[in-house]
């Protein structure tokens, strides 16, 4: 590692690596709760679909920073599991609107409540203002991340 990096930057790198390791493990666990055949990276995709209600594939690909072909393959797999549906876009028949199915919403909400419970437990001793600041700083980091 570069000896010239400030200690605080090294600490951020260490903590981010630990967070990512734990996040990958948690993604496997949560994905299996949604559906036994669900890929772990699909949880984030389902989260965005749950938040948006309905979105175009191209808009979702842009938001997630992945290629349309990759996203289309992932969506196809989620459709096969009965979690996502693809409907024609009323404004552009060449495009599709993606959304969770009723079953997808039910399964996602159930798994998400477990995840939120784990977060609540991890942060229960924190003052509300610290949790709000943590969320703000994570958002700021993610907005500026490559």
pLDDT at 3 (0 to 100): 63
DSSP string, 14-81: HHHHHHHHHHHHHHHHHHHHH-TT--TTHHHHHHHHHHHSSEEHHHHHHHHT--HHHHHHHHHHHHHT
Helix-helix angle 57-64:42-52, to 10 degrees: 120
The DSSP output letter for 112 is H
Of the candidates 135, 55, 21, which has an alpha carbon nearest to the alpha carbon of residue 143? Answer: 135
Compute the average pLDDT of residues 53-62: 88
Q: Which domains does the chain have, with CATH numbers?
A: 7-144 (1.10.10.10)
pLDDT of 146 over the 60 cut: no
Spatial distance between the Cα atoms of 42 and 108, rounded to a whole number of angstroms: 11
pLDDT of 145 over the 90 cut: no
Lowest mean pLDDT among 23-27, 35-39, 87-91, 106-110: 23-27
Of the candidates 62, 128, 55, which has an alpha carbon nearest to the alpha carbon of residue 96? Answer: 55
Residues 75/38, Cβ–Cβ less than 8 Å: no
pLDDT of 1 over the 50 cut: no
């Amino acid at each position: 590692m570069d000896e010239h990096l400030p200690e605080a930057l090294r600490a951020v790198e260490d903590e981010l690596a630990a967070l990512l390791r734990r996040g990958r493990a948690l993604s496997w666990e949560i994905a299996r709760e949604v559906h036994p055949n669900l890929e772990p990276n699909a949880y984030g995709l389902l989260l965005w679909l749950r938040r948006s209600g309905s979105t175009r594939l191209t808009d979702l690909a842009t938001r997630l920073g992945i290629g349309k072909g990759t996203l289309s393959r992932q969506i196809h797999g989620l459709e096969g599991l009965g979690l996502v549906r693809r409907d024609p876009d009323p404004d552009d028949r060449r495009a599709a609107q993606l959304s969770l199915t009723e079953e997808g919403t039910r399964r996602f909400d159930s798994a998400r409540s477990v995840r939120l419970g784990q977060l609540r437990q991890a942060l229960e001793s924190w003052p509300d203002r610290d949790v709000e600041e943590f969320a703000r700083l994570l958002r700021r980091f993610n907005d500026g991340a490559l």
